[in-house]
Every structure is written in C-alpha cells, then in structure tokens.
Chains A and B, each alone.
Chain A
C-alpha cells in the first residue's frame, strides 16, 4: 500500500447521492486483471453518453478536472456491492482522497486497505465546499492525514479528519495489515484452539 501523508489538489465534484459501486465500476469490468489498470473503468457508464462518447458535462471529463486527485462526492458514496474494483478504479485513475458526508461501510473499509483516504465532513460543509468550487474550480484543498485535518479554500477553514487512529496509522506508514496480524499468531492460535474445542463442528 502506498503511504499517504498529505495531498494538495484541485477537487473534482461528483455530486451524486447514494452513488453505488455499480456506478463507480459496472459489473462487466470486474473480470479484468488488476495489472490492466482499473482507471479506464472509473464511472464508465455515467461519464459517457449512450453512444460511448465522453459527456463533457461530467466532472472528470472537464479539462480543468483532469489533474484533480481529490473528489468531492455525495452522501453514502460507494453503497451497494462490496466490489473492491470500485476502489481500484479510483486509485488507478489517480484519486488519493474522497470527501463526503458519508460512505458505504464496505467501500470505506476497502478504501482504507488501498491507501485511498475517505474524509467524512458534515453535510453543510460539503455543500459549502461544492458551492465554493462552483465559483472557484481551481482552488485547492489539502488533506493532511498526518496533522489530521483537511484545509478547505476561501473562508471554509480547516476541519478535523475523523478517521480511526489504527487505520490512519496503517495508511501513514503504508503498513501491511497481514504482516502486522501475523505478529499476533500465537494469540490467534490459542484463541482458535479454545474456540474449536468448544465448537468441534466448526473444524470439520
């Protein structure tokens, strides 16, 4: 996992509430090997017209949004299917952080495992940011995971990032969770032995 300390970028706005992971990456692309790169599938069907041409009105298709590594998205972003391909598509496209009032729980966990930082900000703050960016699309936002705050443009100020300390630490250091967990292998084995002994049908 690529470590994340802080990121300053312009922000692309995808203001869809309940944007499910089928919108982020349609199911038919999930057969692809990760080595092919999932960025090409990001928002595949909603950033294109029916004939396949890119819709110039969709945020990510606008020339001024091409360099954005931070997305402002609608509430309950990433709801629905557990497909981690949704996170792969965002990461492979170059997105490093997301800002929304809330995220789908499974998507949120998937994002953390891939170093994609999901920042929850209150809905009125997200609305104010969207309004500001509509007038000043080139204004940057800084997501500073180390300092634990996100700095918004204009007079919108700085806001704390309420990410779990454990996840924050893993992402800051680019830690591998499986390696970390295996350092607890003795405890896992002892727990497991007692559990199987009490529930012998589990081990069959």
Chain B
C-alpha cells in the first residue's frame, strides 16, 4: 500500500527520468511554450549546432511585443520591436516549431491560448520562459516559469534538472460575496502571506470557493501564485475541468477520451496526504481588493486607507512602504476609494479571458468611461467570442479602446505604456516600480473593479454600482 500522495507528488514522480545522487531530478517536460524572449535560447542552440529535439511538443506564440492596434510586425511600435517579432518567426521556421503567428486566428497571450487550444492538460509538465506559466496549473498540471538557459535545455533535451519544491495547500472555504472574484482572492492571499510567502513551494488551491470557480477563475488564481513567490500553482482536475477540455484542438480525441479521463481521475491529492504548509482563507471575508504600493502584497480592501509606513513591523518593511508611497504619490490615511485615476487597462494573462470581459461589460453596460481606457482580450478567440456575445459593442459604446490580443500594458514591452506619474487601474498582475512604463503608478484590481474605476474616474467599490 503506497502512502497517500499529493497531486503534485503524483505528477512530479510520473515525470522523473532519474534522480541525480546529489539532489535534483531530471524531469521529462511534456510541453514547452515559447515566445519572443526565446531569442537567447535559439542563439544558444545555434552556437551548439543543435536543433529543437521534439519540435512537436513545443508551441510558439508571439505575445510580449505584438502590436494591439494591428496584426503585423510592420505595425509594431518601433523597428526594434518589429524585429523581435520577425526574429521569433524566423526562429520558429528554423526550428520547425508549431507556431501561432500574429495573423493566426488562434494567437493570443501564451497562457490564455494554451488552455484554450487544449495544449494545457491535466497531469502534464509544462514550462515556458515566462513566470506566469503557473497559470496553466489550473487544469491540474505542473506548470512553471523558466529562464532562457533552462529553455535552451528543454529545447535541446525535452528535460530539465529540477530540485523538488515543498508543497503548500491554500484552502479557500465559504463563498465569495457579490463583486468579489478570483483576483480578489489572490490579492487577499498575497497580502496575508507576503510577496515572498510561498517561496520554494508548489501551491495547491482547494476548498469550496476553488471548486466553485470556473476554469477562467482558477487560471487567475494559479496565475498570481508567482506573485506570492510560489514555484507554481495548481487545482485538482474535476468535472468542470473535463468539460472545459473536451473537444479542444490538442486535447485527446473522442477515441482517446476515456483512457485520458481514467488517468486524470487518479490525479487529485489522496485523502490524508500531508502538505509542508497549510494556509486557509475565509472566502466570505474577502472584499474587492486594490493595491496601494509597489508590491502585490501591498493590497487592501477597497474600503481601506493608505497605511502609514511607521505601522509596519520591520525596518525593511517600513523603508519599502515609504519608498512605495513616494513613488505612488500617496499620503498615509488617504481613503483608497475615491482616489482619482488617469487610465484603465483591462487585459493580461491574469484577467483577459471571456469571463473577465463579461464581468467588466456587466458594469459598463449603458455607461461611459470618463478616463482613457483600453481593453485587450487575452486571445483572438476571446476577442471573436466577445464580438459574438455583443460584449465588444458594450466596450465600444462605453468609450473603451477595443484592441487586438497581446500582453500589452501588463508587460509594457510593445509600446503600450502608462505615462510617467499617471495612475492606472489595471487588471494585470504586477504593480512594480516602472512595470507599466517609467514612473507609471499601478493599482491592481479585478476586471469589475477596473470597469467601475473607468466610469467614475476614481477607485470605486464595485459593490455599490
């Protein structure tokens, strides 16, 4: 009788080719997703005279540098940015890698496209040279971000040397209140455990709130695991997962379905399995959240006030809060609700799936944005669906700039930026100094909260709209 195992342990152990005597495991990698930043890895392969070893298990998608105002590299914000897209296309052709180019009807942000196309499946190991690869664990996979040296290693060998992380279960019980979403759960979690709180751990999300979330919501949870420093996030696959996957392009065929399902049903954590850490949150106690500082841990309920740096326990935290308030142009004691904003961004691999767009549209319907606002769907299929559902027209009627898909103002590498000193309500994942452009002031919020901010021009409690 084998002892009870976590889902993480089951998937990890099923991918161990060997264990090195001095520690790490050589893991088999089922899928490698690559984007424009992979040019370093391709340069490395070319120097070595190597080619991608398993090109059929590699999927290329341009997302970080792509224009959101057009669908060709020629429309990129600068020749240097266009060159990034062209180089990527050239490397995909050179490596014989399957490739969703800018003109493809499947293009989008890699972590939106992969689940959407059935590339992300339960029980897989998935890597991408992007920290938000954790997103894809929402379907019950081990999915984590890597750098370009590791990416070159995967391209050359379809494996990675990895040290096994510890495990953490985050249980969110109860039920979420009206106007509260997966984004708010994650901001509340990170505020509780800190931006370094899950360092070295693989998180499994559990509890009634998580079970009741759609796949879109679970993707948002896992996406922001990395903002708590987790190695990865995951959710056990269930009927919601299987229904979502069935029929997607790269998913098992109908003939293979029962065999796949039989494997996937054995993945969830066994009763009695022990996690290295347990964290619990009361879902009913979570309010719509907003960040006030320059780390995702600087998050408070919208009903809160900008904290006084002197109120923090350690000298490090006091210094960090003082720096953050200076950068954000905020004074201690100021109510977060009512803070005037200059811009709204709805998009990113955190919050640009169809459900996110529906949540924003529900707030915007029949109303007008009073500040410049852009909405960037997570993929072209999401964009098409929003058009078909009539949501796109809601955005246009509200005065939003309805863009083409890409990372856009979250990574701020494609020319879509927030100006110096501008305050932006953003559905992205990072409020870091300069993340959305030099001097940009980012307040992380959910899509519904971003929409509420757009129509009032201020940070606003969406529950009162």
Contacts and interface: CB of A to CB of B under 8 A. Distances in A.
Interface of A: 15-18, 20, 22-23, 26-28, 30-31, 34, 45-46, 50, 74-76, 79-84, 87, 102, 104-106, 109-110, 113-114, 164-167, 169, 177-178, 181-182, 184-185, 187-188, 191-192, 195, 198-204
A203 B48 CA distance: 25
Interface in B299-355: 316-317, 319-320, 323
B251 A201 contact: yes
A34 B41 CA distance: 11
B65 to A, nearest CB: 8
Nearest to B129: A82
Nearest to A35: B43
B275 interface: no
B370 interface: no
A31 B432 contact: no
A200 B256 contact: yes
B56 A204 contact: yes
A44 to B, nearest CB: 9
Contacts of A45: 433-434, 438
B183 interface: no
Contacts of A84: 40, 129, 147-149
B80 interface: yes
A74 B316 contact: yes
B439 interface: yes
A46 B17 CA distance: 43
A167 B438 CA distance: 36
Interface string B244-261: 000000111100100010
B159 interface: yes
A76 B24 CA distance: 22
A105 to B, nearest CB: 5
Nearest to B295: A18
B22 interface: yes
Interface stretch (B150-158, B213-221, B377-385, B453-461): B150-158
Nearest to B131: A82
Q: Which of B131, B250, B323 has the most CB of A within 10 A?
A: B131
A28 B200 CA distance: 29
A20 B81 contact: no
Given A31-B65, A104-B199, 14 more contacts: A15-B316, A18-B196, A27-B435, A45-B434, A46-B433, A87-B147, A113-B149, A178-B152, A184-B17, A187-B18, A195-B30, A199-B263, A200-B256, A201-B250
Interface residues of B, number: 76
Interface in B72-93: 80-81, 83-84
A48 to B, nearest CB: 10
Given A84-B149, A87-B147, A188-B157, A105 B57 contact: no
A104 B229 contact: yes
Contact of A31 (B84, B226, B253, B438): B84
B320 A188 contact: no
A34 B40 contact: yes
A106 B30 contact: no
B28 interface: yes
B204 interface: no
B297 A181 contact: no
B430 A22 contact: yes
Contacts, number: 175
B20 interface: yes
A14 to B, nearest CB: 12
Contact of B28 (A16, A109, A185, A192): A192
B48 A178 contact: yes
Contacts of A23: 432-434
B37 interface: yes
Contact of A22 (B146, B148, B433): B433
Given A34-B40, A82-B129, A84-B148, A18 B23 contact: no
Given A15-B319, A184-B26, A76 B199 contact: yes
A171 B389 CA distance: 55
5 contacts: A18-B196, A76-B196, A76-B229, A82-B145, A110-B150
Interface in B156-184: 156-159, 161, 163, 165
A177 B161 contact: yes
A169 B434 contact: no
B422 interface: no
B200 A105 contact: yes
B123 to A, nearest CB: 8
Given A74-B316, A76-B195, A30 B26 contact: no
A167 B160 CA distance: 13
B412 interface: yes
A164 B83 contact: no
Contacts of B401: none
A164 B229 CA distance: 19
Given A182-B157, A188-B158, A201-B251, A109 B150 contact: yes
B413 interface: yes
A56 B200 CA distance: 35
B130 interface: yes
Interface string B403-444: 000000001110000001000000000101111001100000
Nearest to A76: B196
B20 A166 contact: yes
